[in-house]
């Protein structure tokens, strides 16, 4: 099978490419390297380019006889989406539309989409199942939800099947030690903490300490990147067997506060971090935890790394390797 992976030089995309390579797939990676890094790619062929280049898209699909698409390319920083929404509608919605249209043009019927739990917004209970109403509170979440809607409509109108995976908070680094979170200026909590540990940052901030949680900080469902990557291979196998289109949560079903994650980092390294308490950040939900039984039932997905201490260890040990 010839598989196109957009954004495959990025954090999550590169982990999926690694598993696809180990599974013997023929992989074509399309990435404009805005945040991706060529050294993250362990398998496949990298084509440097942008999804806005329709001629390039057509050439890639034709030359490599693409049979399935895994779509990771996009912008993911929530506060930036609030201050620069048009960038997010361009990179996440318009570019996705162009990619889907190209799939139809070239007869590609299998599509896996990198979506987000941000489509839920602020569910009243703080817990979201796939049946929870979508009500995103920022342009990032809206831009991703629009792509989900497009996929649903295209699937209803054409011989075209997709799996949209709604990620919760992805963290950690590959068990191989060869790839991890390498994105410059990343805003992920654990990545930031790891940079403080390795003295690449002088300190870090907690954004909001007055939320109605046990310690006043936001709660998130953290999933190890290797488990998330495996979900994509399971989704591809599911579509290969004729599976119907699905929207599935990717999380562990329990959460940790910001202070608990920082505490786990401090415990691992045996030192206190330089942490400042700051005001709330625009577009942040108080609590967001998955109900993730459906993905296990539908795809047979079985997570292996549901352990905050392991997630922390893998992230920090990877950060130590980065220059």
Bridge partners (DSSP) listed for residue 247? 164
**How many other CB atoms sit within 10 Å of the CB of residue 302?**
11
CB 69 within 8 A of CB 4: yes
Structure tokens at 145: 């939800």
Q: How many CA atoms lie within 13 A of 54 on its CB side?
A: 8
What is the DSSP-derived secondary structure letter of residue 177? Answer: S
Tokens matching residue 65? 């006889």
Q: CA-based Rg of the chain, rounded to a whole angstrom?
A: 19
DSSP states of 214-257 as a string? SSSS-EE-EEEHHHHHHHHHHHHHHHHTTPPPEEEEES-S--EE
Among 11, 43, 120, 140, the active-site one is: 140
Write b or e for each residue in 190-216: b if 16 or more Cβ atoms lie within 10 A of its Cβ, otherwise e.
bbbbbbbbeeeeeebebbbbebebeee
Active site residue 305: no
Question: Would you name the residues annotated as active-site residues?
Answer: 140
């Amino acid at each position: 099978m010839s598989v196109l992976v957009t954004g495959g030089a990025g954090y999550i995309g590169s982990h999926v490419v690694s598993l696809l390579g180990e599974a013997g797939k023929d992989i074509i990676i399309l990435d404009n390297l805005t945040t991706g890094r060529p050294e993250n790619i362990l398998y496949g062929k990298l084509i440097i380019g942008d999804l806005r280049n329709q001629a390039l898209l057509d050439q890639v699909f034709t030359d490599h006889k693409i049979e399935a698409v895994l779509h990771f390319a996009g912008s993911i920083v929530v506060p930036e989406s609030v201050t620069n929404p048009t960038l997010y509608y361009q990179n996440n919605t318009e570019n996705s539309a162009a990619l889907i249209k190209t799939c139809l043009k070239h007869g590609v019927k299998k599509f896996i989409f990198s979506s987000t739990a941000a489509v839920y917004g602020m569910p009243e209970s703080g817990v979201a199942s796939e049946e929870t109403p979508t009500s995103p509170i920022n342009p990032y979440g809206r831009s991703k939800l629009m792509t989900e809607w497009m996929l649903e409509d295209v699937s209803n109108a054409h011989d075209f099947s997709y799996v949209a995976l709604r990620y919760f908070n992805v963290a950690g680094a590959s068990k191989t030690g060869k790839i991890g979170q390498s994105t410059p200026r990343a805003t992920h909590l654990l990545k930031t903490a790891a940079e403080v540990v390795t003295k690449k940052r002088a300190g870090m901030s907690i954004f909001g300490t007055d939320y109605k949680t046990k310690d006043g900080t936001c709660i998130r469902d953290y999933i190890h990147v290797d488990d998330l990557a495996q979900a994509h291979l399971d989704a591809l196998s599911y579509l290969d067997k004729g599976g119907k289109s699905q929207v599935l949560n990717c999380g562990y079903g329990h959460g940790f506060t910001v202070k608990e994650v920082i505490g786990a980092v401090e415990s691992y390294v045996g030192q206190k971090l330089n942490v400042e308490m700051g005001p709330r950040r625009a577009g942040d939900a108080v609590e967001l935890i998955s109900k993730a039984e459906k993905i296990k039932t539908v795809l047979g997905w079985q997570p292996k790394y549901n352990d905050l201490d392991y997630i922390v260890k893998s992230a920090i040990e990877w950060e130590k390797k980065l220059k």
